[in-house]
Structures are given as C-alpha cells and as structure tokens.
Structure 1
Amino acid sequence: MRASVVIGLCCLLIYNANLRAITAGDTYPARYLPFAILQYHTIFFDPIEKVAAQGRGDGAFWIVHRPGRHTFSLYPIVVPVLIAPLYIPAVAYLHLRGWSDARLDRIARVMEKLCASLIAALSASLLFLLLRRRAKASIALLLTLAYAFGTTTWVIGSQALWQHGMAELMVIGALLFLTAPCTAPRTLAAGLLFGLIAANRPPDVILAAALGICGLYWAGRRRAALLAAAAALPMLVVMVYNVRVSGNVAGGYGLLGHAQFFAHPLFEGIAGVLVSPTRGLLVFSPFLVFVVLVWRYVPRDREERNLTLAISVAVVLHILLYAKADWRGGLSWGPRYMTDLLPFLMWMLVPVVTALRGIGRVSFLIAVGVSVAIEAIGAFAYSGSIDDPIYANDRGWQYHDLRAAWHWRNAPFIASFRHGLAPADLAVPVRGSFDGIERNGRAASTIIAGEEAFAAGWALAGDATPAQVSVMIDGRQSVTASTFFDRADVRRMLPEASPSGWRIPLDTAALAPGEHHLTAFVWPFAEGEGQYLDERTLTVRKAALPNLADFRQAAARLRAHQQAPGYWLTAFTSEPRFHEPRQEMNTFLTALLVDLLDPIAANAGLNDTLQRARLHLTRQIESGGLVRYHGLPDAPGIGTLGCVITPDTDDTALVWRIAPASDRSRLTAALATIDRYRTREGLYRSWLAPRENYQCLDPGSDPNPTDIAIQMHVIMLLSQVRPPAGRALCDALRPLINDDRVWVYYRKTPLIPILRLPDLRRAGCELTLPESRMQTAIPEQQIWVSVAKLLGNSSPDPELIRTVLRELARNDFALIRMNPPLLYHNDLTASVARYYWSEDAGYALWLRLYEEYEHSPNATPHG
C-alpha cells in the first residue's frame, strides 16, 4: 500500500511538472460545470455561459443551445458531477478574493489541470495494486510506470479533463473489485462502476459489457441481481438527465451526432488506429506490441482466463469501432480514442512481461523507454495547433482527407520537437482589464457602421508585458495587438509593471447592424493559450446610403492621377505603415488597375483612361517578349522613379494577358524563357535571369522564389494561350497553397491573392485559400481585406457593402488617402524592407464595390 501511495504522489508531481494544461473544447464542460454545480446549484451552463463559451458564442460546440431552453453540455455529465467536490476549495477561494469572470476562468484552468492529474495519478496508484495481484513488485512497478508515462495516460489523461482519464480510473477500480473476493459491498461498488463507465463515455459500453459479463460470474446467483441493479442505476440517472435536458436519450450526442461519423473504411481505420504516424497506438506506445504474445501465456486460473478472454474481445471490438470512425480524434495528442482500454492492455501484459528473458526483456525495456520519450515530448512541447496540417484539407463533416495523417512529418512528437518547449502558462498569472470600446477618445457602446473605433484596455503576464491581446468578435473573427504602451494608472497601482496598455482598431464597416459581442483574451506567451479577460457588447447602427457624387469623384481622381505616358505611380515605405511614402513607377500597378477597372470602365467614364494604360503596358514588352517591373531600361523615369531591373515572370504574364503586342512571336519567346524557370514542383520562379545577372535586386533567403500571386497571374495567362499548362500549374499550386515558400510578397497583406480567386475560377482553376492566410498582419488594413472578400463573394451582404462604401468615402475619401491599400511587400528576409501602397487602387476597389452594390438585388436605392 505504501508503494502505491508513493507511486501516486510521484506521478502527481511529474504530471504537473510542465506547469501547463493541454486542453481542447471537449474538456471545457468538465472544467467549468463544477462551478455552476457548487455556486449556482445547477447542471446547466446558463450562469457561467459567458466564460464557458470562451468568446465563441453559438460557435462553442461544447455547449448545446436550444431556443427558449437551458444551455447544457454536449458531453456526458459524469465527469463534472464526480469531480465537483474537488472544486469546493476553488469556490471558497473565489468567494474570498471576489467572484469575477476573469478570476473564475483562471482558477478553472488550474483546477482542470490539478483534477486531471489527480485522477491519472490515482489510476496509476491503483493499477500498481491491481498488477501486484498477478505479478511480483518489480514487474508491477515496471508496467505501472509504462502505463503512467509511456501511454496517453500522461498527455491525455493527466493534462485535461477528458472523459478518458476518468474512464481509466473506473476500469481499474472495476478490475480491482473483480479480482477480489466477492462481497455485497464490492458487488454494489463494482456494479456502480460498470454503469458509470458506460454513462461516462457511451462507446465504452463495450468495456463495461466485458466487465459486466465477468462480473455476473464473479457475483454468482446470489448477488447477480444486486450487480445488475447497481449497474443500471447510474445509466438510468444519466438517461433521465439526457431526456430532461435535450429530449433525446443520448443527450447532446443524439442531437448533434452525424451518421457519417462511423462511415469510414474499416481496414484503413484499423491501420490508422494502430500504426499511423499521427495516431497509431503501437507508434506512440511501441511496448504494447508485446500484447500479441498474450495467447502464449494463457492463465491457468479459470477466472483469470475468462477475464482475459472477455477483455481481449472488448479490446478488439473497441479498435473496430473507432476504425470505422474518423480515427484522428480531433486536435489532441496521439491515439486518444485508445486511452480507455489501456488498463485492459496492462492487465494482459503481466504474464508476457513476467516470462520475458534476455533479448526479449531488453527489447521490452527499450520499447518502454521510447514510449516514455515520445510522451514526454507531448507533455512538454505539444499543443493542439500542431495537428492543424492533419485537418488542412477537410471540408466539414462532408469530406475527411486522412492522407495527411499518414505523413511522418505530421507526427505530433516530431512536429512538437521542432517547435521546442511549450510555455508554462499556468505559472504566470494574467491580470488586466477590457476597459471597453472607444470612439473619438471616449467610451461608447453604440456606433454607426464605418466609424473609427478601438477596443482598449490593459494586460499583464505577471509583471511583464504579454505576447499579445486578441479581441474575438462574435466568436468568428479576431483582431490582435502585440505592441503595448505604458499606462500611468496601471503604473501607480502596480509600480513594477511593464508596458501594459493596448488599443486595437476595429473594422466597424465590416460589422452588420445589430448587437455584437467582443471578448478579450491575453496570451502570456506567443506559443501558449489565450486566457479570458472580459467581454463587452457593441451595438452597430446602419450607415447612410452611398452617394453617386462619390462615384464620380473617385473616377475623376483616377483620371487625374494617371501620368501622361499612361501609368499610375505607386507609393512605397520602409515600414508597414503609410508614413513618409516615396513614389515609383512600375508596370504591376498599372496592370492591376486595368484589371480592376475594366468591368466598370464604361459606367465610370474610364474607357479612354484604360486605353492609354494598355498602350503604355504594350510598349513595355521588349524584343525578347519579357517585361520588367520598372518598365523599359531606357524609359524616362529610370534613375528617378525606378531602375534597370531584371525581367520578371509576374509583369510579363500580366502585360501579355492585359495588353498583348501584335507580334505573337515575342509571346512564344517569353513563354520559352518562363518555362526555363519552372521548378520540379511545377511552379514558376520570379526572376528571369541567372543569379549572377541580377540587376537592381535585393533578394531574400530564396533568391528566386515561387510566390503565390505570380503563379495566379501565370495561370490566368496560360489559361488563354496554353490551357493544359494552366491546368497543370493549378494542380501543382493547390497542395502548396498554405506553404510559407509561396507566401513571399503577400504574407502580411493577402489582398491580391484574395482578389484573384474569382479570376482563377473563371479561368477554370478552383483554389481555396486557408482562412489563416486571408488575414492581414496590419490591423489598419483589415478594411481592405474586407473589400477584397466582398468582391470575391458570389452573394455579398448589401448592408455590409453599403457600410464599407460610406466608411471609405467619408470626409472626401480620407481613409483612402491616409490608409491606402497595402498591395504587397518585398521579401521579408531581404536586407531592406519595402511596402507598396496605392491610393489609386483604393479608388478602383471602391468603384468596383459601388458597382457591386448597384447590382445587388437587395440594395436600397439611393437618391
């Protein structure tokens, strides 16, 4: 008994050594509901929903919303009810310090980790006692340590309140009773555990059934009825709860479950569950491969033999069940679905390990060591976002692409190792305030769509400046601040505090009229998890109708800004803000403006303007068919508005599509040159010359990159002149769409790639940009990203378009003049930074959006 206690205490210490929790939305009900149970005497989320939803509102999948009824947990209620007594000190602490949402969230995170680690440590302690009934102390200790640190017990069971940790504890408890002499109290306790195992996690009914069958033989005729009644009690209670709160005997699962969940190929699933690099049980815990030898060591004792047979059948059925499901198991470490049956496997290993000698024993010890090393990487380095590549090609419940789960580079223990140690964020207290929404320097709770507004407050991680603050709007979009300023009021209150003030601009033009919920989160560390700060409500009112006079004014400015030769000038800065810009001439902007304005040229009175622009572009085509970014080497602006620069793929493709020369032999020559700079992957490089012949270039880490927009522009050209080559390039680009290597000139501003998506669709190339790539790193540019998305939307919201138009046109287009679109930047790894802006592109985008509004079937007519 003493050894068991020592094992449990050591496990508890090691499980908490990383000073962080590894959680997911699945564990939030168990994290928060004990507070509702103890403080508000309810099993519903209603009184704590704001915190429990973590800013996601209706998008919090772990909370089930039913109109006019309580909000409740998607998952079974067993874990939060059983652990609620452990939360009594936490509730008392909150009463002592003051009950606030931020403090509740902080304490809930700590309590989740402590309770999960306590459950896992207790299961290891009891497992040792169980194994001692079959093996000597050394074997029992070895297998207990393998279970505690060489399986998902460590990274799943001990790090968050998944159902799996409680399932392990209850299975071990049930086995302890079944391997002890049968008495009435033990029969009652065993029956309750059987029922709780099934009620805690419905798929574990397989495990409960195996134990229950053995339990009936163990209890005998005298106590079989008691065992069955005890098992039925918790299941009946949970079913009554399910029916009362959800109207479905299966609870939240029954309301939101998908039939396709168990519609995956069986044999591929078996392989995925057992040997895939990302979820394979035998990959993460290779010592478990020795379980296959169990049939060489069949127990002589009849009861042990029957128990081994029953749990072996349960193991097989458990594997088959999850093989038919999406065996990846969400954003979670390793073979999570196999965690519940680990006690069975450890029980089965006892005679095998006892019999091992020589090389067999050494092999087993090595396998245990490898397992512990893998789990240690998970405990100290893994976070759920590391698994994002495994799901990158999924499309909701309709389509699951499992291929990425078979790539070794996506194995969590390999990917986590590359990321390094995860921060110990539970060791750093977060403090701060979400002061509210500011408009014109004053607090505001209601604004007109398009008005300038800021979310403001302060935050500290300990006494240090946090990595960032993020404000989530309606659980769907986030805006972030990573720069902080000194706040005198905070400094007076906390003299040791670092800069803590934050102020985040809000793109109110993109907010639909009505009430919006803004939730602030603080990241103590860049690689950690955001911690809840507070929530505010903002009401947005409709903007006025767009004005026809503004349309004419925007078109007039485009005509006025066009230079005599037919081009428009581009502004550039050395930092990602529009400050002290200088000007240059390049062919890219003129080509872009022709593309943008062509659909509306007649209505805007810009036909002659675009004709002049096309003539200018055609004149930039050299004898070999190539085009340079700054135009012809002998152009009048060379030396003042540009330099003699190396010809490039992007401008060549743009000009030949928009303003081709009559001599088609030059196009043939240009395509031949471009083909020479095609990579093995099928993409096209930027510069059309060897490195030693570069002119006026400051290359980055990749001196000749394959940027995404360049590929898009080449596809658009090839679709007209060489359709098979265009389709081949589209197919080559699609799997690399989220690769950092192709996000060279648009990493901070995805405006052009977003705008090109409809053009590509018309060219027969359907591409989808990852949502993470359709965000700007510069908050002030968010309105332009919104414009690009609206133009690419097949059915945009007229109200939203109207709001954006009014915001951009306000005060004589002040926003366009002071914060024009950032179109692209140079390679961020180059020695000198360059960011390229265009006021004229802003007017062109406004005109296009105005035209979109005019043709919207639900638009409100203007006078």
Structure 2
Amino acid sequence: MKRATDAPPAPPTGARGANAGWRDIVIALFIGLFSFAVYNANLRAMPAADTYAARYLPFSILRHHTVLLDPIVDTVAQGRQAPLERGHHTSAFWITRGQDGHQVSTYPVLLPVVIAPLYVPAVAYLDARGWDPHLFDHVARLMEKLVASLIAAASAGLLYLLLRRRGPPAMACGLSLVYAFGTTTWAISSQALWVHGLAQLLVVAAMLLLTGPRTALRVAVAGLLCGMMAANRPPDAILGAALGLYGLWWAGPLRLLLVATALVPAGLTAAYNLIAVGHIAGGYALLVRPANYNDDFLGGVLGLLFSPTRGLFVFSPFLLVLPCLFAAAWRDKANRALTLAIAAAWVAQVVLYATVDWRQGVSYGPRWLGDMLPMLFWLLAPVVAALSRPGRMVFGIACGAAIAIQAVGAFWYLGTVDVMLVQARGDQRMHGMWQPRNAPFVAELGHPRAAPDLLRTLRGNVDLIEVAEVAGDGSELAGRTDRQIDAAGWALVDSRSPSDISVLVDGRFVAGTAEFFTRPDVVRTLGEPRPAGWRVRFAADWLAPGTHSLAVLVRPDPGAEPRLLRLRPFEVPASTPVDGRDPVLERWARLAAQRLAAHQQAHGYWLTTFTSGTDYDKPQRELNTYLNAVMLDVAGPVGGDPPLATALAKARAYLAGQIEPDGLVRYHGRPDAPTIGVLGCAITPDSDDTALAWRLAPASDRSLLPRAIATLQRFRRPDGLYRTWLAERDHYQCLDPGRDPNPADLVIQMHILMLLAQEDPPAAAALCRALAARASDDGLWVYYAGAPPMAILRLADLERAGCALELPPPRLRSDVPGQEHWVQAARLLGQMHAAPPTPAQQAQASRLLWEIAARDFALVASTPVLLYHNDLSATVRRFYWSEDIGYALWLRLYHASRQGADAAPRCDADAAARTECASR
C-alpha cells in the first residue's frame, strides 16, 4: 500500500485536466504564430551590448565548434577593444578575459548553446555565399530577431496551455495575449537575444510539467529545466529553487531523479565557469563593482515596482490585482503549495534586485522582473476569475494601457533618455528615474517612430588611414608639431547615405561625421549616385608607436544601433629620438610640470578633491597637509627643473610652517589659518601628517622634533603600532570616528617608520617587526582599503629604509574603475627603484605613459588618483582624489623608465640632495 506522501498531487482545478486536447493545441499554436507576427511587425531589432555574444556565438559554435569568443572576438567587440589581460576592463564589457588568455562572454552561454541548432540553415547559407563580414553581420541580426521572437512566441503559446489548467479557453487565451503584448515579453524578450526570453520559456515549460501528471520522463525534464534556469541567468536560481522545492513534493518517489537532472546543467555551467572563465560564478562575478550596489534598499523596492522608468506596476498596471487580491489565489487549496513557492520567489527576487543598481541598464521597463512573468500569470488566473464585472472592466482598461505602453517600446524606443539616466553618478543618481517625463513611454514619443532597419544592408570600406605631422596651435607648448590621422572611406545603407559614422581607435571614440560627399568611383562602380564618401581627421599624439586598430561604425538611421563597417590595423611610427628621448613624451613631461606649477595655490599648497563614493562625481575641494607632503615625496625626485622646482620649494616652506609649537601637525593645517572654515576645520593633530612633515620639511627649530616623537610614543599600542590621533577621545576636534575611535593604519605606520629610520633606528626596527606580524590583518587597512597606490610606493621606500615588508596581493589591487592605471604606475616605480629598468619594463612604462597622457591627460582629469578614504565605518564616507598626484606619478614614471629610478638624486632626502637638484 502506498504512503500518502507518495501519492501524486490532486488534479489541477479549472476547466480541463492536465492533458490538453487538440483544440487547445491549435489555439496555442495560433497564439504563438500571431505573437511571432506581431513581434516582427516593427521590422527592427532592439538589442543591447548584453546580447552581442548571443547574437554571434551560435555561428561560432557550429563553424568553429567552441563556446569561446576567440574566433569571432573582433565581430563581437563591434569596434571596441577586447580586454588585453585578465582583470582588464574595457568599453567591451560584454567580453571577459578568461583562463589561458581566452576571450569569453561575460554573460552565460546557455542561451547560444540551446539555440545553436536553429542556426544550421543560416550557417549553410553563409557557407554557400561566403562569410563576407557585412553579409555575416546582416544574417546574424536577422537570426537574432527571428529566434528571439520565436522563443517569446513559444512561451506565450505554452502559457495558454498552462492557464487552461486553471480556467476556460476565453480566460486562458485573453491572459496569454496580455502576457504576450502587455508585458516586457514584447518590448524586450522578443526583440533581441536577451537571456530573459529563454528564462520565461524555461519557467512556463517547467510549470507545465509540474502541474501535470507525474512520469519518470516528466520528472527528469522538469529537473533539467529548473537547473537550466540558474545556468541561464544566475539570479533566476531563485525561480529554479522555488519550482524545484515544489517539484520535490510533486515528484514523490522520483525526487532523486529530479535532483539529479537539475544538477546536470548546473554542473556543466560550473565546469565551464571554472575552466573557461576562471571563476565559479562566471563572468558576472568579474564584472560586478562596488558601484553596482544600492545602499537605499527601500528606494530600490519602490523603484522596481512603482518608478515611472522601471516600475513593474507602472508598465503592467494590471498586475496590481495580485497583491490586492492575493487571497483569491490562496483559496485554491489544490495549488496552494505552488502558490506559496511562487510568492516566496517573487519576494526574494525583489529583495535581491533592490540591493543593487535597479536602473537595469539601457532597456525598456522592468527587464529584471520579466523572467517570472509566467509564474505571476499562473497566480493571476484565479484572481481574474474572482473579479466582479466592474473589476473586470478596470482590469481590461489596465491591460489595454499595458499593451499601449509596450507598443511604444516596440515601435518608438531608442533609449536616448535611458542612456543619460544610467550614466548618472553620485548620491542623486536615482533622481531622474523618478521623473515622470523620463518614463520611456512618454519620452520616446517626442521623436518619430523608429526606422524599420532590420532588413537594411550595409556596404562600404575604409580606404585611407594616414599618419601626418601638422603644425600645432602653440596654446601651451610653443613650436610643437602635432601628429594627426587622416581616415577616409565610403558607406551606403541600401542605396542611400547613412545617418552618421563614428571612428574608434583601440576601442575609443575619436571622431565622427554626419556629412557625406559624392564619390565618383562609387558612382562609377556601383551606379549609386547618393553621397557615400566620408573623411575625418583627428589628433593622434596620444597613440604610442606600434600597431593600433581603427574601427568605423555606421548608424543606418537616427537612433539606430551602429553597425561595424570595417576594422583595420594601422601603424604609428616611432617619433624621431632627440638625444635618445622621445620628443612627444618629452613635450608631455614639460606640460605635466607646467600643469603642476599652475595648479599650486599662491601660498604654496595644492588642493585635494573628495567625493562621497568611488565614482569621481561632483568632487568638492579641501586643503590638507597630507597631499602636499605626498607631493614632495612623489615629485621630489624629478623636481630639479623649473617651474616644478620652484613649486616644490614653496610647498616645502608651506609644510614646514604647519609644525606647531608642540611639534605636531594637523591634517587641515594650523587651526588659526585663514583657510579654516573654508577649506577645512581645526582638527586634532595626527601621527601621519606629523611624521610626513618632519621628514620632508622639518621646522627650523629642531628641538621640537623630540617632543613630537615623544608624543608619538605615547600613542603607541601594546602591539607596537602607532595610533592615528594624538589626543584622547574627549579632546577630539572635527572628527567622525569609526568603530575604532583611534585606529592604527598600515600606511600610516609606513610613514612613521620612515621618520624613525632617520631619527631613531631601533624604534624603526621594532615597528618593522610589528608591521610584519600584522601586515595581513584587515583591521590595519583603515584608510587605504580601496586605494593601494600609496601602499605600493611605500613598499620600495621601506625597503630603502631597511624594512622589507610583504603585503597580501589582493590588497595591492583596486576594484575602483579607472584606478588600474595608477596601480600599475606605482607598481612599475617600485620595480625600478633598485636598478635601471629592463627593456620589458621600459616598454610597459611607455605604453602606460601614452595611455595616461592621451587626449591631453584626459585620464588624469576623469579618473584621478584615489589616494585614500576616511574610516569607512564612520557615519559619512569620503574618498580623496588628486589630479596633481597623477601628474607627479606620470613624471616619476617617465624619468624612471628613461634613466632608472635612482639615476636622479632624491630631492627630498636631505638638504644636500635638494641643493644638487636645484643646481641641475
């Protein structure tokens, strides 16, 4: 006799049982075909960079038999530069550098693997016609739209069969059509190869099995589908787990089979992630940054559900009946367990997404919450059945509004407003998401209907890439010549001029034009009289000598997705050396020194900027002694020539003047300075600035130094490390302490050790031993946890002081966007400190110098050096940046790579060294 727990579940309620009749199958097919036709009626695709790999990978799987992007990386990159090394982030964020140097998709590869069989005819066609890049791209775009719309249409048809288990044909058909056209299934899933389309198909297929009779085959397939949900999109592991838990009860004695088949896609995905990507969580894990998280949880929940730009209940207002009338779904006892699982999954996904940046990139509406739409429609069926006649009228009006909203997306959406919204940074970055005028179904109606560009064909070429020297404008450096690149070619979309073209060099936009002229050769050869020729010229002084790539992207129509016309390599010749020096780098070195001198304030100090987060957005300025001391340290060794020598002398005088009668120094300077209250506050003296000032700019009254060192010793901890603040807690001024009101920071210990190495070697040796014992302690990384350049530089300084310290490698990396250049510069300087640079180091330094100096030192201005931050456990967070340290680091690296780090005397070491520097 069977146990009760092993019995199959009760038959589903509704007009029909578990098995669909022929009539239902015909209706489901009709819904699918009708949806497929409507999805393609706009004759355009709405892709995003997230879908590029899925667009091209099926071709590579069939042709090259690999899921790696290596054979097609240039096509997938679409003119951007793929990452050159592991951990290197570029504008082609959808590509990740995986294990053994392979290029892999940042996003899961299950979708292209599943749909690859559908591409067999397309691959056969290209084999017969030839794999011309333009033809390949045209076929790939067509296949992307057709396959995406086929997947979405299939989910709509299957949803009808699922809903027939809860109600009559009219209700099931109506809700299926609302799902097809009143949700993001239309404007997102059907328009490009987003993973959301496959997610919806997996969910509805799994539910169709889980609500039907139990057989071994059904159990095996249901488990497989649940596992595929997590493999297709990691956040959907929540959905797979919810349906899987219900499935454990439904499967009864076959539950182990369900678990086993669910583990197959999960295991294969984990193996791929480890072998190809190098991280068990895949490319997602390598892409996530601190800025991707949201610290306003409640705002995230409300934004996901009610914001005019991403709110689920705004874009599909009919879904509001679910939370309002959830009791109607709960009353269905036969399906209560499944109802509970779905409700729990929905809450869990909303909670998850509320903790991250809920803007969801450039896409139409609530993209993230679209995966579980079939589950919500399963709950919707009994709720709609329970509505009164007026309630059904209101529900119908809401459905009509949702369909109209999705139609705007399908026929008008270009994403122009969304681009600005997702690029917003700072504390107010979400403000625009709540403005009704930014709702895409409102904003997008301000322009004509999007052009039907799906069938447009692109022709053209890049005929000329020429490097030329032209006379400069002499704005900052007189008598210079500038290197420019002249690029020319032609482009036609169908038989007319395109909207515009963009030129990218090494993945960076450099020029563009919307002006086209008649090319007689094109007219003569192709018989096309429309203007097709284009020509652009742009500055190229920022390009290092060697091989580079130039890509031309063509936009067929205003607002349409750009298409890759050609990707061409070209050579930039080396500048003619003058006395063994690169004249371009030499010119930039003079410019960097001039900028440093120009940025210095009249009283001899440089200012620091700070922000509230790791995005360099809306920086504010302050004065502190720390930056000026570090400037003497970093720029001192190369500061022998005017105007930098004069600027450093003024900074040294300013810093010496900050030493107070008790020998101590404050972060914002003397409390009676005129800048207090404007650029800083009267703050408690600290060990860091005291040690830096005495080593780099000692006061004329040397009798104050022993008093300062004695105060430092008074705040020495039992473990041999020195605290930050040189006062007791009840005497703190202008401080916002963290968990430890007076911490010992690792880099501050380095600064103290460098002073003690000069003044008290035994104390320095003791501090070195204490540091070595605690270097891996997270509690010591108070002010430099996300800002490693200073720690890297100090390692070389400590070695010169007789303390060879090793730090954990993860601490010497930064997750802050744009900081990899400064980390690399500091690391190279550290490697060069003991001996002249090797040829490999010189080549690496040269590349880095060119990258930083590109576009008039654009990196220095856009992503300055992140020097340090406050105690992040305090109530207010601040991150401190400096463009001027960026210029100083560049100068140090330039001189070190040219002649070795110690070829020039250290101008900050002592008075004799400063005299020697001044005489050079």
TM-score in terms of structure 2 length: 0.59
- Match for residue 383 of structure 2? 352
**1:140-539 aligned within 5 A:** 140-221=172-253, 223-258=254-289, 261-298=292-329, 302-394=333-425, 401-438=429-466, 450-539=482-571
Q: 1:247/1:787 Cα in 2 relative to 1: closer, same or farther (>3 Å)? A: closer
- Match for residue 847 of structure 2? none
1-structure distance, mates of 2:574, 2:560: 38
State the superposition RMSD in angstroms. 3.5
1-structure distance, mates of 2:455, 2:432: 35
How far residue 245 of structure 1 moved from its aligned partner, in angstroms, is: 0.9
How far residue 86 of structure 1 moved from its aligned partner, in angstroms, is: 1.1
- Match for residue 40 of structure 2? 16
- Match for residue 90 of structure 1? 122
**1:374-773 aligned within 5 A:** 374-394=405-425, 401-438=429-466, 450-544=482-576
Question: Partner of 1:277: helix, strand, or coil?
Answer: coil
Q: 1:530/1:261 Cα in 2 relative to 1: closer, same or farther (>3 Å)? A: closer
- Give the conservation status (yes or no) of the 8 Å contact 2:519–2:531: yes
| Matched AA of 2:179 | Y
1-structure distance, mates of 2:443, 2:537: 34
| Matched AA of 1:11 | S
For residues 533-574 of structure 1, give each alpha carbon's deviation from its aligned partner in whole angstroms, at most 9, with x where no partner exists: 111112212334799xx9xxxxxxxxxxxxxxxxxxxxxxxx
How far residue 438 of structure 1 moved from its aligned partner, in angstroms, is: 3.5
How far residue 183 of structure 1 moved from its aligned partner, in angstroms, is: 1.1
- Give the conservation status (yes or no) of the 8 Å contact 1:391–1:404: no
How far residue 361 of structure 1 moved from its aligned partner, in angstroms, is: 0.8
- Match for residue 38 of structure 1? 62
- Match for residue 56 of structure 1? 80
1-structure distance, mates of 2:560, 2:574: 38
Question: Partner of 1:509: helix, strand, or coil?
Answer: coil
Question: Partner of 1:498: helix, strand, or coil?
Answer: coil
How far residue 458 of structure 1 moved from its aligned partner, in angstroms, is: 1.4
2-structure distance, mates of 1:852, 1:311: 58
- Give the conservation status (yes or no) of the 8 Å contact 2:459–2:491: yes
Q: 1:792/1:179 Cα in 2 relative to 1: closer, same or farther (>3 Å)? A: closer
- List gaps (5 residues or longer) in structure 2: 1-24, 84-89, 470-479, 584-593, 600-673, 679-852, 866-886, 900-920
- Give the conservation status (yes or no) of the 8 Å contact 1:449–1:540: no
Q: 1:217/1:67 Cα in 2 relative to 1: closer, same or farther (>3 Å)? A: closer
Q: 1:439/1:267 Cα in 2 relative to 1: closer, same or farther (>3 Å)? A: closer
- Match for residue 776 of structure 1? none
Question: Partner of 2:541: helix, strand, or coil?
Answer: helix
2-structure distance, mates of 1:250, 1:793: 31
For residues 151-209 of structure 1, give each alpha carbon's deviation from its aligned partner in whole angstroms, at most 9, with x where no partner exists: 11111111111111100000000011011111111111111101101111111111111
How far residue 330 of structure 1 moved from its aligned partner, in angstroms, is: 1.1
2-structure distance, mates of 1:98, 1:350: 51
2-structure distance, mates of 1:528, 1:320: 35
How far residue 301 of structure 1 moved from its aligned partner, in angstroms, is: 5.4
Identical pairs, percent: 46
- Match for residue 109 of structure 1? 141
- Give the conservation status (yes or no) of the 8 Å contact 1:282–1:288: yes
Are 1:6 and 2:8 matched, yes or no? no
2-structure distance, mates of 1:545, 1:252: 43
2-structure distance, mates of 1:793, 1:48: 32
How far residue 785 of structure 1 moved from its aligned partner, in angstroms, is: 12
- Give the conservation status (yes or no) of the 8 Å contact 2:522–2:528: no
- Match for residue 583 of structure 1? none
- Give the conservation status (yes or no) of the 8 Å contact 2:98–2:278: no
TM-score in terms of structure 1 length: 0.62
For residues 497-524 of structure 1, give each alpha carbon's deviation from its aligned partner in whole angstroms, at most 9, with x where no partner exists: 4121222213223323232211111111
1-structure distance, mates of 2:152, 2:550: 37
How far residue 321 of structure 1 moved from its aligned partner, in angstroms, is: 1.1
- Give the conservation status (yes or no) of the 8 Å contact 2:542–2:854: no
Q: 1:481/1:258 Cα in 2 relative to 1: closer, same or farther (>3 Å)? A: closer
How far residue 527 of structure 1 moved from its aligned partner, in angstroms, is: 1.9
Q: 1:361/1:503 Cα in 2 relative to 1: closer, same or farther (>3 Å)? A: same
Are 1:858 and 2:894 matched, yes or no? yes
How far residue 400 of structure 1 moved from its aligned partner, in angstroms, is: 7.7
2-structure distance, mates of 1:477, 1:535: 13
Q: 1:217/1:525 Cα in 2 relative to 1: closer, same or farther (>3 Å)? A: same
- List gaps (5 residues or longer) in structure 1: 442-447, 551-594, 601-719, 725-783, 797-850
Residue 25 (structure 1) aligned to one of 49, 53, 56: 49
For residues 463-504 of structure 1, give each alpha carbon's deviation from its aligned partner in whole angstroms, at most 9, with x where no partner exists: 111112221111122311222222233223321441212222
1-structure distance, mates of 2:481, 2:416: 34
| Matched AA of 2:336 | R
How far residue 432 of structure 1 moved from its aligned partner, in angstroms, is: 1.2
- Give the conservation status (yes or no) of the 8 Å contact 1:791–1:852: no
| Matched AA of 2:894 | N
Question: Partner of 2:449: helix, strand, or coil?
Answer: coil
2-structure distance, mates of 1:856, 1:193: 57
Question: Partner of 1:427: helix, strand, or coil?
Answer: coil
1-structure distance, mates of 2:265, 2:888: 60
- Give the conservation status (yes or no) of the 8 Å contact 2:516–2:532: yes
1-structure distance, mates of 2:32, 2:347: 30
Question: Partner of 2:101: helix, strand, or coil?
Answer: coil
| Matched AA of 2:44 | R
